[in-house]
Amino acid sequence: MSYKVLIFDLDGTLLDTTPDILNAVNTTFDKYKEKQVTIKDIKRCIGNGAKNLISCLLERKDVDTIVSDYVQYYDLHAQIETKPYPSILELLNNLKDYSKVLYSNKDQSTVETLADYHFKDTFKYIAGTLKDYPIKPDPKRMNELINKHNLNKDEILFIGDSEVDYLTSQNIGVDCCLVTWGFRDKDVLMREPAKYMIDHPMELLHILNNKR
């Protein structure tokens, strides 16, 4: 059975958001007299939402006020240096026959803003974090969308760059393709038994063509 619906993670899969995230984190940390962090630190901790990012970086859980300030600053400065990874726009341009979904742990409004700026009119559905919904890898948000639109899970491929994305795909019950150009090193991704793993965006076309 061929794939008809492609679910894409955002950060680390389509967009390199690390420079703007780093700026927002360090600006916020400076306000609270916390130690500055590096891109390497960001990549190590990113993928489970803003609160988990800050908790991981500070190695503590009492971070609600800092998280609130970070999110507020980031939302206003999310498009300064953020850009698509090489060949992503070319890839998406070759996927016009597929229904595409954007699925992120960022706030819904931020995901919509970034999608409109970088990928206008590309995604049929955009799913960011909403109040009272758990973040990935919990499948609730995506399962509701799948059920609402009567999508067939056998025809869905989830594309992401982290173990969180793999776990999300398994919790939803769909195939997963992990990408190695994002936030996780390839040796980390190799621990997850994803159906596919690719090193370059255009390799996804070969997977999809072989499934026709």
What's the pLDDT score for residue 212?
Answer: 76
Cβ atoms of 103 and 136 within 8 Å: the answer is: yes
Q: Render pLDDT for 119-135 as a digit per residue (tens, 0 to 9).
A: 999 999 999 999 889 99
Coil, strand, or helix at residue 63?
Answer: coil
Paired with 99 in beta bridges are 5
CA distances to 94, 122, 137 from 140, in Å: 30, 23, 9
Helix axes 163-172, 140-148, angle to 10 degrees: 50
Cβ(137)–Cβ(168) under 8 Å?
yes
Q: Are 57 and 37 in contact (CB under 8 A)?
A: yes
Confidence category of residue 10, pLDDT binned at 50, 70, 90? very high
Tokens of residue 25, six digits: 């984190």
pLDDT category, 61, cuts 50, 70, 90?
confident
Q: How does DSSP assign 70-112, residue by residue? A: HHHHHHHSTTSS-EEPTTHHHHHHT-TTSEEEEEEEEEHHHHH
Whole-number pLDDT of residue 211: 83
Kindly state the average pLDDT of the residues 15-38. 97
Q: Residue 1: what pLDDT?
A: 83
Residue 50, CA atoms < 13 Å, CB-side half-sphere: 23
CATH architecture of 18-76: Orthogonal Bundle (1.10)
Confidence class for position 95, pLDDT limits 50, 70, 90: very high
pTM: 0.94
Is the separation of the CB atoms in 15 and 111 below 8 Å? Answer: no
For range 136-149, the mean pLDDT: 96
> Is the CATH code 3.40.50.1000 the one for domain 5-16+83-210?
yes
Domain ranges of the chain: 5-16+83-210, 18-76
